[in-house]
Each structure stands twice: as structure tokens, then as C-alpha cells.
Structure 1
């Protein structure tokens, strides 16, 4: 009996929910009105929802844009809750200047006296704009502050009498309309071969550069983790799959866009698809570790403390009769060299060595012979040996190992070179005999591709090196890979791998990573700007710049310190908080922000909120964020999230800006659904002014 009564009550609630009684049908004559997305026009309402109230009136007639304002009112009678709520939905997200409400003076009802107005970017989560806004009889015009709005919700108190209003209108403001680019998004939902990826970056394969609206024949893409296999078209589930750590793609601009213009590129062997860009050059106990940031805190600092775990952080060789060569990009005046001895097992450290210098890499002069103490093996090991180089001019240094504390192996922890201004100096380090063994956590090491820039028909990208940890994974370094472009394709099999100083752990506890976004600004000031972020009390934007000819000379790069440009990465100043791990900064030569630089992010990396900020210069000051779109892919499953938004200048025109974001899930099993893991696209279309 109780069960039957419960079912009866539920049925009553369902019937009451949103119950509307139609008036006698009113015929509304069409006019020649066409919504042209021009400033000041009335925006068509696509749907109207009244979730809790009983109403009288025809909702379709009420939202008909041709309806005269004084006919077909909506009457609100009863509500399941203490208020009436009305939701108006729109086809796209519009910048709204104002709204109008018409309160008729009717004998059978009272007018809406006060209303609280909420707005939403996605129709799910609302923010309050006006609270208890007082309405008059007749016409009411309410400012919407040029906000971007996808849905509007009105909330007003119930009354013993029925409440009515007979018209509402919403009017287009200036700026950008935000639309979902379903055609582009669905083109990346593939069923055979390449079947999804994240980390999408795009490049003009013909001209290079990052200018909006430049005609070109082919856009190139680089992706990070990539699915290859087959997907059932009917239910979008994966039939088979292989995960690659990165891949490439191309979009041909031959005629109007269609999905067949997309193609994808990765090596294929008899065993199947393989990852094109692999981390082999960056793992193991090789000499390249000596100049890297990994394991030294703070990084690139003579006061840095060295870890006692050699998980690809130090140099170790099975050959004591060995030598290390350091090659600098150019002849440099050096003041000091700091050396940390091998610290995982101190008895494997170097005991004595001879130091040489050279200007040409052929003829070397002896500087001196040095003894060096063992490291302690402690978790935070200070510098073991400081050598004064007396303003030595050199391009090459060579360390000849004379003796080890062990009879079979020899190692060093870290090296740090300082120039005459006490700036650290970066170069390439190699050993005559390298140890190719890798640590356990490097067995699954991988490169996730970040952004890049094309210089002289070569793509330079800045992947992060990822190693697994007990809990999840850790980014340990940022590298640079040079990929030739041949016949509008990436010749990744001929790639050259370089080390960089683009990651640093700072003395305030932060970590700096560069490569999240690059902007070729050479047409304006001659520089290429590389953006990154500092993780400390949030994720803060940082910026460095270099001339194109200095792409391989890290010592010529400078970092904005808030006022000037410094040679030290640790001086990188935070420009704006809440950025994402992938982002874009784009020069806007035309449009509402002509002459400014637009930063595009997903706030806090994975909030689902896509926002932009503008600045007069590439290095700030950046404005407060303007939120433009809130993703809804989380509705697919619990655990699905979106992240890393960016603008693609090579896919954009000034009246149509193309933005992408990624979709993933915390539940690995859900990745069997191919609808989750592929790029999504939205566009910003400028409001017509005439």
C-alpha cells in the first residue's frame, strides 16, 4: 500500500512539473525579419523552459520573435517551490547588450514586480547578474553588460494571484558570438586508423608564422597521446586500439572543408603503428643529464641541492677511462664551474679529473688537474667543487676522468657553468662512453608534444619528458626537436634532438615549464615568443623570447622578469594566473582587439571554462579574463573532463577565430568510448556592425 501511495505521489509531481495550459491558439503572422547577427538586433529564443510552475499560455507563441508584445501573455499560477523560474535558451552564446520585459496591465493577473536574473554559458550552471530587480508596468529595459550568454534564467516570487508578463526580448551587443563547430569536431571523430588524440597544435606548412587569415594549402598538426585502431560507427566503441605517445596530421585546404581533407601520419611496421617521436635521446644515465634541471633544486643555481636518486638525473658510466665534452653554442667568457659529484652511490663518484678548454673543438689546452670529494649520499647534497675559470674564453670544455672512487664505474651528479655576468651557461654534454641502461621508471618514459614554431621550413617543437611515478607521472624536462618539412609533410624520421634549459625548479618552491604556446611575432618586433607557466599558488603565465637565428642558442634567450628581460629562467615573472598547460597568444591585426595580443586558455587547465585575455604587448599587462564558453562533455560520463584550450591562427580568419580543447576521463575504462578522446572546436564570430 505504501509503495502504491509513493508511486501515486511521484506521478502527481511529474504531472505538476512544468504543467502548462494552452490558451486559444493565436495566429502570428510572419514578417520579413531575418536575424543577421548585427549589433542591436533581437536574438531569437530557441526554447523556453518552466520547470516548476503551472502556467497558462502558449510557450511557442510567447517566444516567437514576430509576436506583438501585447498579446499572448504567460500566466504563472502555482509552483512546486517558493518561486517561479523561467529559462530562455539560445542557439549560440551571444554578447548581450540588454533585455526587455513587457508587463501588461491585465485585469485577471498581477505583473511581475521583482525579478532575479541569472545567466549561463552552458545552460547548466548559472551566475547571478541582477537580484530583486524592480519592474514597472509596461516596458522595462535591463542592461546585460555585454555578457556572453547561452541561457537566461528569471526567478520571481509566487503570489496568491496569478502573475503574468506578455513579452521578453534579448538584444545583441558588440564583440564575438561563440558557436560550436560541430563539423570540425566531428571530422576528428574517426573510425579507422587514427581514432583520437589530445594535445593538438597547428602549423602553416607553406608559410610558417602565426598570422591569422594567411592563405595556405596545408595545415599541419601535432598530437600527443594517440589512439590507433578501429571504432564501431554504430555505437562509437573501440573495436581495437593501440596507444601512441604522439602523432602528426594534415588538413588540405582544397575547397570547402570536409572530413576527407584530414589525414594522419605515424610509422607503421609489420607489428603495427608505432610512436614517431621517442624519448631515447633523453633517458638513461648519459652525460646530457649533467646540465639539465632534473634533480637539482633550485635549478641552474650554485646553491642548488642534488637528489640522491639517479632516475635519469645524473651521469654514470661503466668505463672509467672516459671523457666528457661540453659544447657551447658560441665562444663564451666563463667565470666559474660548479660540480656536484655522483650522489646516489657516493663510492661511484669521480675522484680526480683533468679539465681542458678549446675554441675549435680540435686543439685543447689544459686548465688544471683537480681532486674532488665524494658526495654524502644525502637527499639534498650541496655543490662538491667550485672552480674559478678566471674569465676563460672558450667554446668547448673537456673533462678527462683520471680516477674514480670505484674500480668499475664512474659518475658525476651535475655541472653548472657561469659566464662573466654570473648567468648560467647552457650547452650540450656528451661522454666518450655512455651507459645505455635506463632506470625502472624510464621504461615507460614518453614525450608529450607541446607547441612549436616553423623557421626556414623546419618545425621546432618543445615536448615534455614524462616519467611514471608511484602515484601517477612526473614531468622531468622540456626538450626541443627539429623536424624538417618536405613537400608539406613532417619528415620526423630525420628529426634532430636537442636539450634545453626550459624547465626549472625555483627557490620559492615553484616549477617553471616553457613550451605551452609559441607566437611568431617577427613581423612586429623580430622576436619569437615562447610561453609557459609557473606552478606556484596556481598556474601563472610566463614568457621568454628569442630571435629566429638563436633558436639553437639557449644562452641568447631572455625571460621577462616583470620589468626587463633577463638571461635567467628563474627570473620569469608571473603575468596572469589560472592559465592552462596548453594555451595560445595571438597578435590581432584586425577586429575588436586590433593591435592587441589575445591569450586563450582553459582556466586552471581543466575547469571547462574557456576564456581570453588581451594585452598591448606580448608580455602583458593582461586584462581580466573574459569567459566565452563552458564545455559540457562531462555529461557523457562521471569522470569525463575537458582541458587545454587554445586559438589556432592558421585555421582562423579575423571574423572567425577557431579554438580547440581536449576531452579525457579519469576512468581509463571509459576510453573505450571513442566519443571522449578527440579534439573539440568552437569558433568566435564577430558581430556585424552594419
Structure 2
């Protein structure tokens, strides 16, 4: 089929009739009707030409002919989908992202098949009964897995240890899994217990070290000294006499200034101190605190520190202390997100996730931070011995709104073979307010992707350094998605965003942008997923996205995830939890549709 072909023809009597179509089509000409209305499911469509149901009005008995218009038609791809239905070993995962390991090209219309890496989030491993479909106990779930795809064959991999046990390939570094009164509390936006930083009792040579990961220029520092709303007199834990040093190697330290931090008796005192110089590390040495004869305790405390270069507040900091009163494991884990290949390195931005038992089954988690993983590619494979990670300050909550990045990545680089490379990595995310998710975008030069204070955020037509100024580009997106350059056809030069409408609904949707920052067209539902009606119970689908280097501009390979909120349901049917594949077919070209 192609644009202008007949979708359906039928003879109807005078009156109103509902015509059901076998899938969602872009509707072209409709012949023989007085008037018509388009629907997707039961939603009336007045702002697009897509429909899987047409209500027509006829003033006489006639033949009605519905023709195909210009746009996309989604077709199931069972050959792809069935490769992920496995009853032994790897037996289901979500969070599917794909990467070109040969060249890093991440674009449509590649001439030859490349060596592809798939990465997955939570993964079932074990044996299942193909007749009853039950997962057989013991059935394991690990945090992540991978698969290599080459010559149309998939090779699934789990991390098998020397003793035969299995685990994920990626784990959160324990130093990023700490809560308590650590130095990190001074710089992080999220702080659960609001204790700030507290040293141990009577520390010797108390030192706080702040690593900015590369040499940075400083103009000033803001200090909020210690305050605890439960007892106002605890302000006496606050730092008093302080020495601030700068260093670029932690071997040679330069005294920047000796100063006095003001007490914070009200909890609202913010002290601004001039801080001149260029350093990678800043070291704060606590000489004395506000303890006195009426309050002798020996603990040093601080509430917040903020470091600036003029208006830019630095966020990409690792903070450590020579003495800490309370430090505990938070028992976090990671969920993988999108990334890109730069040079010979794969990098991506996983969520850091905690348990939240106050939520219903299947949703007992909360996203608390984001991290960056980097792994070298050697001989077409990941060399996990080279993996590095660091915290990524790409999540911020401000009032009722949350900003977070990593949902999708577009590398507008020569290596990625984009049409108009500018050397930037564009990192997409979500701005969420009262459950409504809007697309937001940041960018960074490819060579600086690991330095988050070099990231810029798109805000009403300009690029800024503050994450909470990012403005929405497109509503109703999902927490995983894709934005890809269209290289051929009637949309050449524009950008295709693929997502699930409102994250976990049956609606696979797309939007077309004039540029990487929009404007984007209104979301267009292109496919209704059938899995909820097939597997019943609490089955749901979520997080659709395109896989550019496996696609053509006129035949875009898309996945969506399928899961269930019930763990028992997942154990009862191994067919549920796995990705499904579609193609979005441009009606400008001829394509086969089995109807």
C-alpha cells in the first residue's frame, strides 16, 4: 500500500454509520459521504487525519471509499518480537536501548548492518514451561543485561561470575549509595532528613574536600551554617573559623582565605564570601565551631554550600569529609537509560532508584538521582573492566515540578553521521508537574559529556545553565523516548519523536519537530497496543522509542515494553515481560499490509 490506495470500500444505506478500520491510518479522501468524523478508539479527532474508526453520514444509499493519506502506518514486526520470547536463560527484560558498536553512527538509512548492542533493565533469568507458560522456581531477576545483534542473530548475555552465580553488568558504586550526615548533603538538592553535614565527635584536622572534576573558575561562595529546626540552640554546631584552600592535584594546596562563617540562629542566614581563583578541588578546613561553656559537644555542622562562577552555580561536585557522624547505605539500585557512543566509549545515564513501600504493587519505587556510566568498546564488545561512573546532577525537584534527563539522546556529531552536525550531544528528559510530563532538552559538546557543569538547558529560545529553567517542548511524553533526524521523504530535515502517550498507556505516539528544540507537532497516536486485552490482569505497556541505526527514514523500527503490576502474574506467564516491535511506515513509499 501507499498514499492514495484504497483502505476500505463498502455499500451503505442512507443514514449514519460507524466504519471500523483494522488499524490506525492517515486518512486521505473519503468518497460517497455527506460528512464524516474521525476517531481513534472512542476519541474524536478534530486536529489530525489519523483514525481507526470513521463515522459517516449518507444522504442516500451509496458506496463509501476510504483512501490512504500521507503519514505513517504502524505494523507489527513478529520476526523481531519473537526473538525476544525465550523460555530458558534470558527470559524477559525492559528498558531496551540500542547502540551501534562499529562506528557509533546513530542515524536512519545506514547502508550496511552494524554490530548492535541492546541493553535491558530488570531481567528475568531462568527456565519456563512452554505449555503452561509458568516461570519455574527458582527464577532470578537481575538488575540489567545485554544482547549483541549481528548477522540477524541475537546473543543474550548475563553477567556470570566465577562461582556460577549471575548478576547485572552495571551496579551503583557504593560511595554513591550513602545517606546520613555526609558532605554530599551540603551540595545535593535532595536531602531526606535535613540534617545537613555533621562531623564525628572532636574531629582532628577536619577537612571537607570538593572535587569539581576539572579546573573551574570561582567568583564566590554561599554558606548556610548549621541549623536544626527541632532545637534552635543546635546552631552552635556551626563552623566558625575556617580556612579555604584550592588545589589542582590534592598534593599542593593554596590558601585562598581564612574567614569566619556567621552563625545561623534563624535558619535563614545566607553568607556570601568572595572566592577567587581557578581550581579543580576546594578544601574547607574547620578550625573551630560555636560550641561554648553552655554547649560543649564537639560536633561540627553545616547546612548548605553553593559554589559560583558569577551566576552559574556549580552542581557537578563530589564531596567528601575526613570525619562524618552518620553514614548508612541507602540500598539503591539503577535503571538504565539512553546514551550514545563517543569515540570508543559508550556512555549512558541510569536512574538511581530506592524502594517506596507506600506505593501500590508494581510501583514501589522512587527515582532519587541520576548517574553516568562509561564503558570502552573493544573489538565490537563492551570491555566491562573499563567501566567508570559518577553522579550526574540531572534531576531536580522545585516545588511541584521535577526535572530529570536521560530519557533519550541524539548525538548531533560527525561520528553519529548527522546531516548538520554541530558537535553537541542533545540529552532529552521530562519536566513533570502533577503527573503531566513535558519534553525538555539539554546539550553539551561531545568531548565534555562527562562534565555536567558544561551542560546547557533550553529555556524559551535560549540556552541557560540552570536545570530548573528548562521549558517544555512537547506534552504527554514518556520517561523513555527517542528523537531522530529524518533523512528522506516528505519530512526530510525534520525530527521524529517517538514515545508512549503519558508513559504507561496503550498509545504509541509520535511528534515531528522542525528542529532539535522544536517546535513539535501535537502528539499523534499511531498504534494501540493489544497486550492488556491478551494477557489481562494488570498488564500494561510503556516507554516506546525508535531504534535509529536499525531503521530507515520511511520504515522506522520502534519498540515498546510490556509488563504487569503483579509479580505473581509475571511468574505465571513468561510471555508478558519483554519488548514488542513495530515499524512506522511512511505512506509515501510502497509497503505490504496484511489485512
TM-score of the alignment, normalized to the shorter chain, above 0.5? yes
Q: Distance in 1 between matches of 2:431 and 2:3?
A: 40
1:456 aligned partner:
343
Alignment of 1:131-170 (within 5 A): 147-152=49-54, 167-170=63-66
Judging changes above 3 Å, is the alpha-carbon distance between structure 1 residues 644 and 293 closer, same or farther for their aligned structure 2 residues?
A: same
Q: Distance in 2 between matches of 1:291 and 1:466?
A: 19
Q: Distance in 2 between matches of 1:397 and 1:264?
A: 43
Q: Distance in 2 between matches of 1:427 and 1:128?
A: 47
Q: For the Cα contact (< 8 Å) 2:38–2:51, is it kept in 1?
A: no
Which of 277, 285, 298 aligns to 1:392? It is 277
Which sections of structure 2, spanning at least 5 residues, go unmatched?
360-364, 415-419, 591-595
Q: Distance in 1 between matches of 2:578 and 2:207?
A: 47
Q: Distance in 1 between matches of 2:199 and 2:427?
A: 33
Q: For the Cα contact (< 8 Å) 1:188–1:196, is it kept in 2?
A: yes
The SS at the match of 1:555 is: helix
* 2:226 is the counterpart of 1:320: no
* 2:92 is the counterpart of 1:212: no
1:184 aligned partner:
80
Deviation string, structure 1 residues 58-104 (Cα, Å, up to 9, x no partner): xxxxx7xxxxxxxxx6889xxxxxx98665443x54322133459xx
Judging changes above 3 Å, is the alpha-carbon distance between structure 1 residues 684 and 387 closer, same or farther for their aligned structure 2 residues?
A: same
Q: For the Cα contact (< 8 Å) 1:519–1:586, is it kept in 2?
A: yes
2:423 aligned partner:
526
* 2:59 is the counterpart of 1:95: no
* 2:274 is the counterpart of 1:401: no
Which of 358, 362, 387 aligns to 1:471? It is 358
1:682 aligned partner:
582
Q: Distance in 1 between matches of 2:197 and 2:123?
A: 31
Q: Distance in 2 between matches of 1:324 and 1:361?
A: 12
Q: For the Cα contact (< 8 Å) 2:224–2:270, is it kept in 1?
A: yes
Deviation (angstroms), 1:328: 2.6
Deviation string, structure 1 residues 620-674 (Cα, Å, up to 9, x no partner): 1111122211212121223221111111102211221011111222223211122
* 2:131 is the counterpart of 1:230: no
Deviation (angstroms), 1:563: 1.6
Q: Distance in 2 between matches of 1:315 and 1:491?
A: 40
* 2:546 is the counterpart of 1:657: no
Deviation string, structure 1 residues 194-234 (Cα, Å, up to 9, x no partner): 11111111111111132112234311122212111122122
Judging changes above 3 Å, is the alpha-carbon distance between structure 1 residues 471 and 349 closer, same or farther for their aligned structure 2 residues?
A: farther
Which of 232, 244, 249 aligns to 1:355? It is 244
The SS at the match of 2:305 is: strand
Q: Distance in 2 between matches of 1:677 and 1:350?
A: 53
* 2:18 is the counterpart of 1:126: no
Alignment of 1:302-451 (within 5 A): 308-309=193-194, 320-321=203-204, 322-341=206-225, 350=239, 352-372=241-261, 382=268, 385-389=271-275, 391-403=276-288, 412-419=302-309, 421-431=310-320, 433=322, 439=328, 442-443=330-331, 445-451=332-338
Deviation string, structure 1 residues 227-285 (Cα, Å, up to 9, x no partner): 11122122322113212222222211x1xx4xx42423334453622122222231114
Q: Distance in 2 between matches of 1:676 and 1:434?
A: 49
2:178 aligned partner:
284
Which of 273, 290, 300 aligns to 2:166? It is 273
* 2:164 is the counterpart of 1:264: no
The SS at the match of 1:650 is: helix
Deviation string, structure 1 residues 345-382 (Cα, Å, up to 9, x no partner): 95876565421112454321223344546777x9xx54
Q: Distance in 2 between matches of 1:233 and 1:153?
A: 43
1:48 aligned partner:
none
Judging changes above 3 Å, is the alpha-carbon distance between structure 1 residues 166 and 617 closer, same or farther for their aligned structure 2 residues?
A: closer
Deviation (angstroms), 1:688: 4.5
Judging changes above 3 Å, is the alpha-carbon distance between structure 1 residues 434 and 531 closer, same or farther for their aligned structure 2 residues?
A: farther
Judging changes above 3 Å, is the alpha-carbon distance between structure 1 residues 154 and 448 closer, same or farther for their aligned structure 2 residues?
A: same
Give the total of aligned pairs.
Answer: 560
The SS at the match of 1:494 is: strand
Judging changes above 3 Å, is the alpha-carbon distance between structure 1 residues 677 and 351 closer, same or farther for their aligned structure 2 residues?
A: farther
Q: Distance in 2 between matches of 1:263 and 1:550?
A: 32
* 2:430 is the counterpart of 1:546: no
Q: For the Cα contact (< 8 Å) 2:6–2:68, is it kept in 1?
A: yes
Report which structure shows greater RCO (CA 8 Å, sep ≥6): 2
Q: Distance in 2 between matches of 1:632 and 1:480?
A: 35
Q: For the Cα contact (< 8 Å) 2:97–2:119, is it kept in 1?
A: yes
Which of 173, 178, 182 aligns to 2:69? It is 173
RMSD: 3.2
The SS at the match of 2:222 is: strand
Deviation string, structure 1 residues 6-50 (Cα, Å, up to 9, x no partner): xxxxxxxxxxxxxxxxxxxxxxxxxxxxxxx132222368xxxxx
Deviation (angstroms), 1:398: 0.8
Q: Distance in 1 between matches of 2:268 and 2:561?
A: 42
Q: Distance in 2 between matches of 1:647 and 1:661?
A: 9
Q: Which has the larger radius of gyration?
A: 1
Alignment of 1:7-18 (within 5 A): none
Judging changes above 3 Å, is the alpha-carbon distance between structure 1 residues 319 and 659 closer, same or farther for their aligned structure 2 residues?
A: farther
Q: Distance in 1 between matches of 2:583 and 2:317?
A: 43
1:575 aligned partner:
473
Judging changes above 3 Å, is the alpha-carbon distance between structure 1 residues 350 and 656 closer, same or farther for their aligned structure 2 residues?
A: same
Deviation string, structure 1 residues 135-175 (Cα, Å, up to 9, x no partner): xxxxxxxxxx9733445566999xxxxxx957443322222
Q: Distance in 2 between matches of 1:154 and 1:661?
A: 33
The SS at the match of 1:662 is: strand
Deviation (angstroms), 1:565: 0.7
Judging changes above 3 Å, is the alpha-carbon distance between structure 1 residues 339 and 628 closer, same or farther for their aligned structure 2 residues?
A: same
